[in-house]
């Protein structure tokens, strides 16, 4: 009899306990590794604080991809522009937070200078306080330039928040400091291959 009572108590405790995080279908959004800057706030003067390992530099880089290929390594939080002869330009990037990271091979389909920002419907659903449209400019989250990736909603773009470079903070786009996205924009044509390596 005591064994039966003990079993009943254990069962009641288990049923009353909250389910593990993996079993929760509707929980809080995955948290970024750093707080993002609000749209309209211009922190671009903080570019100077970027650590050396996230600054644009030429590096030894062995790959089978041809020159002109853009490779984003989300685990390293680095972007490489293949130059050939085992050399690439390396840029520090901010990547998607957990739950918003992805991989695959695409092409650059469009480029824009000081692009306007229209948050995708999915982003508005998650963050209803966001503006529905914002003109291009220093406080715009897309920064100075944007390279649009395939038919996805994702872009490689600048940022009004350089302190987020090297962090997992976005909803899937890749951000560079404005000086770096301007440099990349000049080097990468429409049609260039983009390889996103996730993990």
Query: Which residues are known to be catalytic?
Result: 157, 173
| Spatial distance between the Cα atoms of 56 and 105, rounded to a whole number of angstroms | 23
Cα distances (angstroms) measured from residue 79 to each of 15, 18, 104, 157 = 47, 40, 14, 12
Q: Report DSSP letters for 40-109, one per residue.
A: T---GGGGGG--GGGS-EEEE---SSPTT-EEEETTTTEEEEEEETTEEEEEE-BEEPTTS---EEEEEE
């Amino acid at each position: 009899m005591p064994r039966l009572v003990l079993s009943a108590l254990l069962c009641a405790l288990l049923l009353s306990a909250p389910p593990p995080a993996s079993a929760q279908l509707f929980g809080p959004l995955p948290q970024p590794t750093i707080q993002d800057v609000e749209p309209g706030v211009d922190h671009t003067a903080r570019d100077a604080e970027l650590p050396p390992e996230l600054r644009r530099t030429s590096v030894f880089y062995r790959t089978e991809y041809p020159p002109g290929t853009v490779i984003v390594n989300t685990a390293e939080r680095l972007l490489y522009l293949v130059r050939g002869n085992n050399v690439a330009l390396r840029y520090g990037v901010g990547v998607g937070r957990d739950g918003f990271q992805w991989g695959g091979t695409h092409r650059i389909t469009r480029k824009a200078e000081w692009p306007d920002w229209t948050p995708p419907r999915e982003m508005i659903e998650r963050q209803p306080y966001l503006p529905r449209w914002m003109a291009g400019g220093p406080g715009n989250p897309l920064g100075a330039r944007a390279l649009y990736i395939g038919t996805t909603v994702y872009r490689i773009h600048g940022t009004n928040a350089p302190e987020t470079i090297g962090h997992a903070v976005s909803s899937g786009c890749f951000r560079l400091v404005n000086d770096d996205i301007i440099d990349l924009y000049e080097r990468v044509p429409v049609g260039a291959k983009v390889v996103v390596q996730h993990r």
